Structure 1
Amino acid sequence: MTTLLLASASPARLSTLRSAGLDPQVRVSSVDEDAVLAEGRERFGALEPADAVLLLAQAKAEDVTRALEQTPAEATISAEAHQEPSDVAALPDLVVGCDSMLELDGEIFGKPADAETAVARWRTMRGRSGVLHTGHWVVDLRDPEDGGTGGTLGATSSTTVHFAQVSDEEIEAYVATGEPLAVAGAFTLDGRGGAFVSGVEGDHHGVVGISLPLLRELLDQVGVRWTDLW
């Protein structure tokens, strides 16, 4: 079986992969997102949202790849515990990094800094539509004799999200749960926030945090069949 490592602490991404029959390892990157974006703007100029999330996904995947190559036994983290090192000393075959942001009227929303920000954001989003961008980056670590390509490549999933016309009371109650503070755009599709999303246009997995169809396409480009991960 081909092994996959998810360079993300997101429980939603891990759950999505597991529901699809995968059993990824997990390793969280040490990337400074603000620094990565600042460097990106310096190199490329103003970044479109779809490019910003792709840049961050690449930075996370390649940061974890470097850590694994330096100390593979210690750097591989159990997906069950997220804290204890696993007993797998070998490098995974593939590393995938992701990052998500919500675009609304040309403005970008990541995770809200605090409850007040989340409430204000929801008052802006309600009854309107935004685009949830999720960048994906794959690094192929397989040996050439095992079919490895040395490939490092990515793409962005963009899905339109329609928000319900929720009341102030609903917004405050939702923010009080703490859920919106931990996710890009201050909402979830697979949690309490799902009731406040009236519809999506595009891949709903991308809104949760990792697009399975897009990831399958990226893996195909490095010669890995999706079913090899089962």
Structure 2
Amino acid sequence: MAGDDTDAAAAGDEEPDPHADQPVVTAGAPSMAAEVAVVLVHGRGATADGVVNLAESFYRHGVAFFAPQAARSRWFPYDGRGTVERNEPHLSSAVDAVERALGQADDAGIPPERTVLFGFSQGAAVVTELLRRRPRRLGGAVVLSGGLVGPVGRARPSGTDGSLAGTPVFVGAGDADEYVPVERIRATADLFRALDGDVTERVYEGLEHGISEAEFDVVRELLDDLLEP
């Protein structure tokens, strides 16, 4: 989730919608024949192709992957623990990019309630922000080593409606993560509870900024449940 001031000059040169023309990488089952979709949101410095490769560890027959690519391989330029405004318009553009990937899954005939959002690091922050602004029932959401952008305790935008309506949400991180303090993970889980998600929260002892095998198991189990006849 972290950012740094080396991006300062570049950030000022960005277009109003910096992620607008970036591709969505697809993989897994052919989308028109898939039963379940996973929208994969990569972290800072990573790529859509990279997160698709990562997802091979939990691929199941009948699952299609949709992975949007961030411009310059980062969804926003500065530390997500700072002010939200400093990371605009990048953050809003990132939310829209993930929304377009969700739309691709829907256009392929995979409804939202059979679609899982998966985000790691900055990708987890973008997933959290999308659901904060535009909550809806999904097949699931997996938020790993990242989460709430801006001040801890930041609520949904005023005047917005919608609910996660019991969407299974998994929020996971390590207590040795140098970028994401445990209290921010707690606040992220609390936000999803306030949006009526069915939240599971796990903090792993000794885990740094990464994904544990236990977290991969969570995704496997979630997909197996969605694929059950």
TM tier, smaller: 0.3 to 0.5
TM-score of the pair, normalised by structure 2: 0.33
> Which has the larger helix fraction?
1
TM-score of the pair, normalised by structure 1: 0.33
Higher-Rg member (1/2): 1
Higher relative contact order (CA 8 A, sep 6+): 1
